[in-house]
Amino acid sequence: MSDIVLILIPIIIIVLLAAIPSMIVITRQQNVRLIETFGKFSSVRNAGLSLKLPWPIQRATPDFSLRVREIAEDVGVKSSDNAFVVVPIRVQFSVRSGGEEAAYYRLDDPEGQIRSYVVNQVRSTASSMSFDDLFKGRDAFEQDVEATLGARMAEFGYQIENVLVDDPQPSDELREAFDRVIAAQRLMEAATNEGEAVRIKSVAAANAEGEALKIKGEAFAQFRAVIAEGNAEALEKFTAKTGLDARDALTFFTSVNEMEAVTTAAEAGGRVVFIAAGAKGSETQALLGTTTQD
């Protein structure tokens, strides 16, 4: 019996020495390791040193990262007003506390499968928004994606840390259409500005012409006033020296003016028709005579 004990003790010691390394679990910072008992999940070991039952009773999975990871994707979407745009989106996610089992076992390719959920959720949200809403309401868009995606990812042991949406990029066709619209608006603005300039010039010219006519009218009025004043003064002096009354003086001046007019008409060589003030009914004869001479 003692011989058997002596044989078993070294064997047990060797087995224990061989099993001790498999009983030690060392977990790195920002990681966890999951313990499986006969292939079934039993516990989670956080960072540090811990012990477990020896293999093959229990085994520890490789380190499972708790760090925040990021997925970047350019998602092609169609808005509610049929505009095709590309939405650059970045989703930051991590394993939630208490969700280590689901995060490790339920998803075979976490990043690839989460990426698929992100694309589907972005397209679903964008389809209910207009193109302008995608630009103006990015905060609401981010919040909607984060809330809906967060609820879905919680089932798989993950939590959404942040959703970042950059400016949507329109398709080449939509960008060309915008360029044409902007060009048309620029042409319209240029035409409006040109028309406004023409209107301003016209108004300025009209104002200048009106001002010129006003000045000319005032000058004519002053000229007539001077002429009238001169005539009145001349008439007054003439009547004072000759003793004639004003009516006779006016008749005299009229006769003098007619003689000056006759002299001027004669100098024109028949090209001027002169009709005296008292020659009523002789206009036609004068015109006929002039025509016959020509």
Residue 284: what pLDDT?
A: 47
CA–CA distance, 224 with 203 (Å, rounded to integer): 31
- Nearest in space to 99 (alpha carbons), one of 157, 161, 31: 157
What Rg do the C-alpha atoms of the chain give, in angstroms? 56
CA–CA distance, 191 with 194 (Å, rounded to integer): 5
Kindly report, residue by residue over 191-243, the tens digit of the pLDDT: 788 888 888 888 888 888 878 777 877 777 787 777 777 777 777 777 777 77
Residue 96: what pLDDT?
A: 92
Mean pLDDT of all residues belonging to the chain: 80
Mean pLDDT of 87-101: 92
pTM: 0.54
Given the candidates 3.90.1150.10, 3.30.479.30, 3.30.70.100, 3.30.1390.20, the CATH classification of the domain at 68-170 is: 3.30.479.30
Residue 268: what pLDDT?
A: 66
Kindly report, residue by residue over 161-189, the tens digit of the pLDDT: 998 888 888 767 766 766 676 667 777 87
Residue 183: what pLDDT?
A: 66
Task: Answer yes or no: is pLDDT of 16 > 50.
Answer: yes
**E strand spans, 18-105:** 24-27, 31-37, 40-45, 48-51, 58-60, 64-65, 69-78, 84-95
N- to C-terminal Cα distance for the chain?
172
Residue 174: what pLDDT?
A: 62
Domain edges within the chain: 2-64, 68-170, 172-243, 250-293
Kindly report, residue by residue over 254-294, the tens digit of the pLDDT: 776 777 777 776 776 666 666 666 555 554 454 444 444 44
Residue 42: what pLDDT?
A: 94
Percent share of the chain, pLDDT over 70: 82
CA–CA distance, 288 with 286 (Å, rounded to integer): 6
